[in-house]
Amino acid sequence: MAEPKREEEKIFSFDTGEPSAHAVSFLGEDPQPGASPEESPLAAEIAKIRAEKEDLQLTLVRRQADFENYRKRIERDRHEEGRRGVERLIADLIPVVDGFDRALQAHDDPAYEEYRKGMMLIRKQLWDTLARHGVERIDAAGKIFDPHVHQAIERVESKDHPDGFILHVFQDGYMFHGRVLRPAIVRVGVHPVEDTNSGTMEN
């Protein structure tokens, strides 16, 4: 048996008593216009998804910044490790420069002039190579003693120079990119200490 056809329910206005032109519904359905009950949960879900998206974007930015800092740190450590390797090699080559200097100072006989020229050329090539890599000689002769770059193995009393004046350099010192590879070995002039007791007794 066929189900009886549902009749439309007309909604009348309380003010005029006339049927409402925009409010026709079927029995059992919400006759009121506007948002459906499902729209409120849907809006909340959209807001939640947007909040999660913003949080993921912030997390991505932080991860990118952390990775960039990590990359820079690794690059800096690699550069420092390479520099330390070069520094160790240069420290081993400095005595070779000393050997050239001693050989050139010992052979000042004119008969060895050609030999000296060859030695000086080789020494210059070696030094130019070291200098290109950041090696510098510590300028000590005629300077005031600096414990950071000089090492005094002899002190001589003298009033002819300022106190702490370097009188002689026994061995050159060298620096590598601002770090001391080897301090200069020097003789330092110091002013004699005044004997105040003898002066008091004379008075």
Mean pLDDT across 65-91: 85
pLDDT in tens, 24-39: 444 444 445 555 555 6
User: Cα separation of 201 and 150, whole Å?
Assistant: 40
0.75 exceeded by pTM = no
User: Quick one: pLDDT at residue 91?
Assistant: 87
> How far, CA to CA in Å, does 44 sit from each of 39, 48, 58, 136?
9, 6, 21, 70
> How far, CA to CA in Å, does 154 sit from each of 39, 127, 157?
94, 28, 10
* CA 129, chain centre distance (Å): 27
Return all residues near 148 (Cβ < 8 A) that are at least 6 apart.
180
User: Cα separation of 25 and 10, whole Å?
Assistant: 7
User: Cα separation of 104 and 99, whole Å?
Assistant: 9
Give 186's pLDDT tier (boundaries 50, 70, 90).
very high
> Would you mind telling me the total number of residues written for the chain in this entry?
203
Give 22's pLDDT tier (boundaries 50, 70, 90).
very low
pLDDT in tens, 35-60: 555 568 888 888 888 888 888 889 89
